[in-house]
Amino acid sequence: MATSGRFARVQQWLQFHRQWHVVDATHQDVYKLGQKVADNLSGRAKPIYHPETDCGDHVVIYNCADVAMKAFDWKHVRYLFNKEYPQSKNHIPAYEIHEYDPCRVMFMATYSALGNSLLRRTHIMRLHLFADDDIPERIRSNLGKQMELIQPVPRKSTEYTAEERANFPRLVQRSERHLLDWEKPVEMPTYVRDPRIKKKK
Amino acid sequence: MMSKVVSLSRVSIGRGIACRSISLSAVSPVKKITETTTGSTTIVEATDVPLSSAPKAEVADKPHSCALCRYPVKIKYTDVLILEQLMREDGTVLPKQLTGLCTRQQLRLERCVMQAHWSGLFPDRTIPDFDRSGYKRFNRYWDNDIDMYRTQLKEKPGIWFYVNQYNPRGSLFKPAKKAESAKSD
């Protein structure tokens, strides 16, 4: 590391250079990804971090519409919007917000993860969200680093090749007297409502 | 009038080796009912079915009778190839009598299959009118099979501040990309 000489100032610029990260949000948990993105936006991921240094990076998240939540959190997580006027409390489930605006939930997750500070507004302006993979040219030309994924994307049954299927071991050993006809699909009996029973209104 | 002659299953343990279907390769343990008509007689018998040449999973010294209890790993909804071995073609799970699993593993299997269906991991084994309305359209993941029973409501503060610089709702009004690519292909 050069502390003097002609190259010293170039090294200083390189050390505090603002990096552009890109990440695909498909099948990634919103809040875990939001936490990681917030760490990159504020600069906490860097060893030279200090809140007054302004060492945060830009982060571009695409495919925000395909972001994932755990179990039934899409309907269990509710956002409280309160204007402190009478009759202005609104509990909106996350899926309703996502239906209206695919990027809003990701934005809110990152904004909350940045913490309540005066620098939050500066950092959140460096977050670029895209609902699909259509990123404009002026942003694509800036991209430098790809962020690591939080979670592995689950593979569908159609995405496995025949070779992989053939090499996968059979865990279930059938008995000798087992008939394959027992594994045929069974027709489910349809439920027929008794017309004599009338629902009371 | 066609008379049906039902021959006894070719493989009955009491009869001895002569009656078994002669195949020097490993005797496949699975049978299938087949009907063969010759003239006025129909023979219904259970014939051997050659199983896939998939390698048999290694079993420990003291094997459990339950196929999943043998391994110390919990089954997950992403283990699609394992779930497929215990499912039918239409996406339903085989009953406990056929899978041979213990109650705990059978229920865990059913939960994992449900989770896999909800995640859309079985696109060729679902019914055409599978419920994907509202929140079910969006991606979800599970860490555990019991996660589907956690029903607590979680309240988060709504954030009024927003930066919509790149037209975030624009993708909702774009024409479907899949239809376009299918037409061009």
Please report, for chain B, the start and end positions of each structural domain, with discontinuous segments joined by +: 61-149
Inspect the interface and report whether the beta carbons of B141 and A101 lie closer than 8 Å: no
pTM of the shown model: 0.83
Radius of gyration, alpha carbons of chain A: 26
A residues 64-83 near B, CB within 8 Å? 64-82
Distance from CA of A144 to the nearest CA of B (A): 20
The dotted CATH code for A15-145 is 3.90.1180.10
Our measurement of the distance from residue B175's CA atom to the centroid of its chain's CA atoms, rounded to an integer in Å, reads 34
User: What homologous superfamily is domain B61-149 in, according to CATH?
Assistant: Ribosomal protein S18 (4.10.640.10)
The mean per-residue pLDDT over the stretch A181-196 comes to: 89
In the three-class reduction of DSSP (H, G, I as helix; E, B as strand; rest coil), residue A42 is classed as helix
- Among the partner-chain residues B54, B81, B99, the one whose CB lies closest to the CB of A160 is B81
Q: What is the pLDDT of residues B20-65, one digit of tens each?
A: 332 223 445 688 899 999 999 999 998 888 776 667 666 655 667 7
Minimum Cα–Cα distance from B115: chain A residue: A71
Q: What are phi and psi of A185, to 5 degrees?
A: -60, 140
Q: Which residues in chain B touch residue A182, judged by CB atoms under 8 angstroms apart? A: 98
Choose, out of A171, A179, A184, A187, the residue to mutate when testing the contact with B (most B CBs < 10 Å): A171
Specify the higher pLDDT residue, A110 or B181: A110
Q: Residues 1-40, chain B: which have Cβ within 8 Å of A? A: 11, 29-33
Asked casually if ipTM beats, i.e. exceeds, 0.90, the reply is no
* Chain B partners within 8 Å of A130 (Cβ): 166, 168
Helix (H, G, I), strand (E, B) or coil at A89: strand
pLDDT digits (tens, 9 = 90+) for A19-46: 999 999 999 999 999 999 999 999 999 9
Low pLDDT (below 70) residues in chain B: 1-29, 52-54, 56-63, 177-185
Q: For chain A, what is the mean pLDDT? A: 94
Percent pLDDT > 90 in chain A is 82
Is A160 within 8 Å of chain B by CB? yes
Nearest to A156 among B86, B92, B123 (CB): B123
User: What are the pLDDT digits (tens) for A121-179?
Assistant: 999 999 999 999 999 999 999 999 999 999 999 999 999 999 999 999 888 888 778 88
Instruction: Inspect the interface and report whether the beta carbons of A184 and B57 lie closer than 8 Å.
Output: no
Residues of A in contact with B45 (CB under 8 A): none
Q: What is the pLDDT of residue B31?
A: 87
Report percent pLDDT > 70 for chain A. Answer: 100
Task: State the burial class of residue A108 (Cβ atoms within 10 Å of its Cβ: 0-12, 13-18, 19+).
Answer: buried
Q: Which residues pair with A80 in a beta bridge?
A: A91, B157
Question: For B11-31, b where at least 16 C-beta lie within 10 A, e where not — what string?
Answer: beeeeeeeeeeeeeeeebebb
Q: What is the mean pLDDT of residues A65-76?
A: 96
H helices present in chain A, as ranges: 8-15, 30-42, 73-76, 94-100, 104-113, 120-124, 137-140, 162-167
